[in-house]
Amino acid sequence: MNWKKLCCAATIASGVASAQIWEFGVVGGLGYAPNLSVRQASATASAGLGHGAAVGVYGGEDTYRHFGGEVRYLYSFGNLEASSNGASVRFGRRTHTIAGDILIYPRPTESRVRPFLALGGGVEILDGTGRESAAQPLGQFVALTHTRETLAVGDVGAGFKIALSEHLRLRIEAHDYAGPSPKKVIAPAPGASIGSFMNEIVGTISLAFAWSGRIEAR
């Protein structure tokens, strides 16, 4: 190997300006969380976040042809739910999710359609917003409470971006936010046990404004 040529090439490459694409978008979609299993002696029930609408914003950049990064905020709202043997109860809830992701693109920045994989994590703040009652149905399994709980979540997502024009992007994707199950907002009754792992799958459509700059490597 000619080390002089290799060092020369690296020096030239370090002086080349690299394109940097910035992006800011608004998000809308729907979320679904599989129910958790609740056990009390020999009886079982299910409880969880249920379905919910989601809105939010994100901002990020693609500094490299096949890699980028972003921060995303989602606000979702719906009902906590519990059910067993035909009995059920619902309780209002809202969720704030803040996550940072690394985006991996198989196609370079100049492609009109760019599939991507997102990997990252963040926090989810879950608020119970319903009215508590001592006579809440299924209280022998869980209590759906008017409290707040902050949970760490991992984030895995996939989707694609479509360049509608020089500055306008359409984006369709789905993310799975996974982490420990809530124990305050969905509080197991004494002697009851609840699944320890929860995931929420959110599918969204985004419309984004994109602009470019340049970074001069020195």
- Judged on CB neighbours under 10 Å (0-12, 13-18, 19+), 150 is exposed
The pLDDT value given to residue 18: 52
Cα torsion through 200, 143, 151, 177, rounded to 10: 0
Global pTM value = 0.86
Both tokens of 131, joined, read: 């009215």
136: helix, strand or coil: coil
178-206 pLDDT tens trace: 999 999 999 999 999 999 999 999 999 99
Q: Residue 39, CB half-sphere, CA atoms under 13 Å: how many?
A: 5
pLDDT tens track for 107-121: 998 999 999 999 999
φ, ψ for residue 93 (rounded to 5)?
-150, 160
What is the band of 19 on the pLDDT scale with cuts at 50, 70, 90? Answer: low
Bridge-based pairing of strands 17-33 and 67-84 is: unpaired
